[in-house]
Structures are given as structure tokens and as C-alpha cells.
Amino acid sequence: MANGLRVVARIKAKQDKIEEVKRLLSGLIEPTRKESGCVSYELLQNCQDPTDFTFIEEWTSDAALSEHFETKHFKNAQPHLPELTAEESDIRTYTVIG
Amino acid sequence: MANGLRVVARIKAKQDKIEEVKRLLSGLIEPTRKESGCVSYELLQNCQDPTDFTFIEEWTSDAALSEHFETKHFKNAQPHLPELTAEESDIRTYTVIG
């Protein structure tokens, strides 16, 4: 299987902000996939709980992920999250076992 | 991007059972990938917290995932989890937004 760094990032929308969160996060997909260190970047929505949005990400390295956090698209989206979300984003990095 | 059903399954090992959990979960990879409804099945370990194991899974359908829960390899592993883990497994199903 592929190596590299994985990220699972959970963003919990407020009940009345689901569509706004969906729009905000969807806007990150295209520019993020164009980043040179991005292998894959997929936005998911929980089948049972529509307030649970989750990115599954694959990056070539820690440095590539750090660069992502400095991009204009990421930095533009971030300030909107506190008003739209029910809790702080849960961003976890992983290595692949198999 | 690919369609289908995604699963993010978190298994939290007890601090002194990390290697046993790793072995148990790793044993699921090969037989699960052979299931006809399995598109991908990857086992991850949290970079900051080695007790956090996470499967990222892709299935062709709900029915394929239901069949997975009925397989011999899954059913053989499951009874070992309560003694090895610190909390109940957190299994969430997702649809792909983009």
C-alpha cells in the first residue's frame, strides 16, 4: 500500500449551519488537491449524523502538511469555523501500518 | 473521485496492549481485502497517540459492509477486543461529498 502521512480531520457543524459548513469545506477540495504535496483529499459526511464532516487526507510528508496549513485557501476558511461549528476541529495524523 | 461507502473505525488500545491490538487488527487486513465488496482497507496508527488505531475503509455498498461483519475473520477478532481496548470501538459510516 501507499506510504506517506494520513490525516483524519473531523469538523462538527452546528445543527443550523450544516449547509454553510458543507459549502466552506467543499471549497477547499479543488485548491488543496492542486498542492504539490497532496496525494489525496476527500470530504465525507456521516450517514447517521449530517453535522459530522470528515476529511481523509494523504500527504507526501510532514512538510507538505505544514505547507497546507499556510495556504491562502486554508487560512481564508479557518476564521469562519468558530461561528459555524459546535466544537473545535479534531485533526489527527497517522502512519500507515498496512 | 470514487463513490461508495466509507468507514472510519477507531479502536482505542489499552496502554499495555498496544502490540497485541496491532497484531490482532493487522491480521484482518489480508482476508478483508479479499472480500469482493471491499474496495480499500487500510490500518493506521496515530502519530501522537500509539493507542489510537484507525481503519479507513471503502466498500461497494451497505450490503458489502454488512457481509464483512459476518465474515469468519471479523467474528474471530471481535471477542478479543473488550479485554484489549480502553473503550468501545467508534465505527462511523460516511458518504463522499467530493
From 1.10.10.10, 3.30.70.100, 3.40.190.10, 3.30.300.210, which CATH number describes the B5-95 domain? 3.30.70.100
In the structure, what pLDDT confidence band is assigned to residue B1 with cuts at 50, 70 and 90? very low
Residue B2 has what pLDDT?
Answer: 54
Q: Give me the residues of chain A with pLDDT under 70, please.
A: 1-3
Q: Sort strands A38-46 and B52-59 into parallel, antiparallel or unpaired.
A: unpaired
Report how far residue B96's alpha carbon sits from residue B79's, in angstroms, rounded to the nearest whole number: 31
DSSP B79: G
- Residue B43: list chain A partners with CB under 8 A: 96-98
* Closest residue in B to A51 (Cα–Cα): B94
Quick check: B46 and A1 CB within 8 A? Answer: no
Quick check: A95 and B52 CB within 8 A? Answer: no
Q: Are B58 and B8 in contact (CB under 8 A)?
A: no
* Closest residue in B to A54 (Cα–Cα): B94
Q: pLDDT at residue B4 above 90?
A: no
Residue A11 has what pLDDT?
Answer: 98
Report how far residue A31's alpha carbon sits from residue A24's, in angstroms, rounded to the nearest whole number: 13
The pLDDT tens digits of the residues spanning B38-94 come to: 999 999 999 999 999 999 999 999 999 999 999 999 999 999 999 999 999 999 999
Q: Can you spell out the DSSP letters for B68-89? A: HHTSHHHHHHGGGHHHHBSS--
In this prediction the ipTM stands at 0.93
Report how far residue B9's alpha carbon sits from residue B53's, in angstroms, rounded to the nearest whole number: 8
Residues in chain A: 98
Residue A2 has what pLDDT?
Answer: 54
Chain A contact residues (CB < 8 Å to B): 1, 5-6, 8, 22, 25-26, 29, 42-49, 52-54, 56, 92-98
- Residue A26: list chain B partners with CB under 8 A: 97-98
Q: Provide the grid cell at B20.
A: 497485541
Domain-wise residue ranges, chain B: 5-95
The pLDDT tens digits of the residues spanning B20-48 come to: 999 999 999 999 999 999 999 999 999 99
Residue B3 has what pLDDT?
Answer: 66
- Residue B6: list chain A partners with CB under 8 A: 42, 44, 56
Report how far residue A70's alpha carbon sits from residue B21's, in angstroms, rounded to the nearest whole number: 36
Chains A & B: contacts with CB separation below 8 Å:
78
- Residue B29: list chain A partners with CB under 8 A: 98
Which residues are B12's β-sheet partners? B52
Residue A1 has what pLDDT?
Answer: 42
What are the distances in angstroms from CA B54 to CA A25, A27, B81? 23, 26, 14
Q: Provide the grid cell at B60.
A: 461497494
Quote the minimal CA–CA distance from A94 to chain B in Å: 4
